[in-house]
Structure 1
Amino acid sequence: MTEQTLQGKTILIAGGGKNLGGLIARQAAAAGADIAVHYNSEPTRPEAEGTLAAVEASGSKGVLLTGDLTKPANVERLFDDAVSALGPIDIAVNTTGKVLRKPIAETTEDEYDAMFDINAKAAYFFIKEAGKHLADNGKIVTIVTALLAAFTDGYSTYAGGKSPVEHFTRAAAKEYADRGISVTAIAPGPMDTPFFYGQETPERVEFHKSQGMGNRLTRIEDIAPIVRFLATEGSWITGQTIFANGGYTTR
């Protein structure tokens, strides 16, 4: 991919301050895009500021935005603020999520609600506002999980909360098609980030590694290029979930 591929484009990245979102932001800025970097709360602000500094150091424009995306009004405000700061949005990427590994018998109602709020509700309204705000021929990408194709224990609310996004993606792909907007989801395997390790024992980490090609976890560097491809040459792909996990699982 040439460094001019994203020249003149504007990208909004939910959860764009760190980990996968941060890498997507940095790479897209290096490819010429202006970036709206969203972060959730004050504890993650320093990392988001670091990402913003990298965006601006590459010569692109950037803006830092915050908000709890489980509240639809905040999602609407996020897009409005991004447009106000940078102009029309061409590409919207949602990397946000929350993970919980817990048996169904021990899961509380509050935990269930929190998991579905961030993994399903926030994703739904992100896709909704993206459809309202994106320029024609825009791109919408949501990060989901390879667990959508797994048969396992412990992750009922995480996999369950992410699974509706496939249906949101397919519906939006049809509803936005007349404007040339592609809508896709990417399902990574367990990723080598702090998001993953807090839920697992060392033994289970080794098992997850053993299921992937090269006996390793998915890396953020494996996924960011797929986002760029879907946002550029791969925009004919729409309504799909792409399982990018080194052979960890499929269906």
Structure 2
Amino acid sequence: MTNQQTRAAIVTGASRGIGAAVARRLARDGVAVVVNYARGRAEAEALVDAIEADGGKAVAVQADIADPAGIASLFDAGEKAFGGVDILVNNAGIMKTSPIAQTEDASFDAQVAINLGGVFRGMREGARRLREGGRIINFSSSAVGFLQPGYGVYAATKAAVEAMTRILAKELGARGVTVNAVAPGPVETALFLDGKSEAQIEAITRMIPLGRLGQPDDIAGLVSFLAGPESGWVNGQVVRANGGAI
């Protein structure tokens, strides 16, 4: 890759929340962005418009990462629009909480298909198609360390992502491609807030030494570092960004 060549990134699940913040931050860093969405077309297109209005480059691309063809179509779009892909951010995920004894097969299957299967296929496609010196940034969760009741299946999918992150980092090291994971704690997004009472949210906030919930931009800043040149010696790591809660 020449110095004049624009780096390009795929961000899955980028129509809102942390994914949208990551896409905005990478665009500000001068990275062209494939904004992936599954159903939020209007939100994704509005994000692309905002990035372009700020002088960045972006395209919105619909793809279901639970579908084996979904990730490949995102790389196809990135190569068509920007000539290649340098960064893959495996952000898309779902969270369905319930005690293990009460977890339905459909809930288990959906979380495994998206949180684990989608990330696996992203890592596989990235290993095959990222340009030399690329970056793969997976999303885990601090739920892996919290080990709270109700999070059994969700935490298990994220623990598997962490294992694959460390292994793929060793497999791709010779190409200069780094593979790391970000494991956010409680971040003020719909994914976290939905289904929680104000009292529950206040109790969780009290557990965080910094005294506040995370914001999407907190996580986007970390992704920016891992995607950039300064992180070239950081590989096979899981960074728990949670305000010191664990």
Give the TM interval when normalised to the shorter protein: over 0.9
Which stretch of the first structure deviates more once superposed, 185-194 or 15-24? 15-24
Q: Identity of aligned pairs, percent?
A: 35
RMSD (Å) for aligned C-alpha atoms: 1.6
Q: Which runs of 5+ in 2 are unaligned?
A: none
- In the other structure, the counterpart of 2:102 is 106
Q: TM-score, normalised by structure 1?
A: 0.92
1:214 to 2:210 alignment: yes
**8 Å CA contact retained: 2:7, 2:85:** yes
Q: Which runs of 5+ in 1 are unaligned?
A: none
- In the other structure, the counterpart of 1:155 is 151
1:237, CA displacement in angstroms? Answer: 0.8
Which stretch of the first structure deviates more once superposed, 156-165 or 195-204? 195-204
Q: Which structure 1 residue ranges, 4+ long, deviate > 4 Å from structure 2?
A: none
- In the other structure, the counterpart of 1:35 is 33
- In the other structure, the counterpart of 1:243 is 240
Return closer, same or farther for 1:28/1:180 CA change in 2, 3 Å cut-off. Answer: same
Return closer, same or farther for 1:6/1:49 CA change in 2, 3 Å cut-off. Answer: farther
Amino acid at match of 2:239: I
Select 2:181's aligned residue among 185, 190, 196. Answer: 185
**Match runs of 1:114-133 below 5 Å:** 114-133=110-129
1:49, CA displacement in angstroms? Answer: 1.0
Return closer, same or farther for 1:6/1:160 CA change in 2, 3 Å cut-off. Answer: farther
**Match runs of 1:1-251 below 5 Å:** 8-41=6-39, 44-232=40-228, 233-249=230-246
1:239, CA displacement in angstroms? Answer: 0.7
Which stretch of the first structure deviates more once superposed, 21-30 or 182-191? 21-30
Amino acid at match of 2:38: N
Amino acid at match of 2:129: H
Per-residue CA deviations over 1:168-196 (Å, capped at 9, x if unaligned) read 10111011111100000001101101111
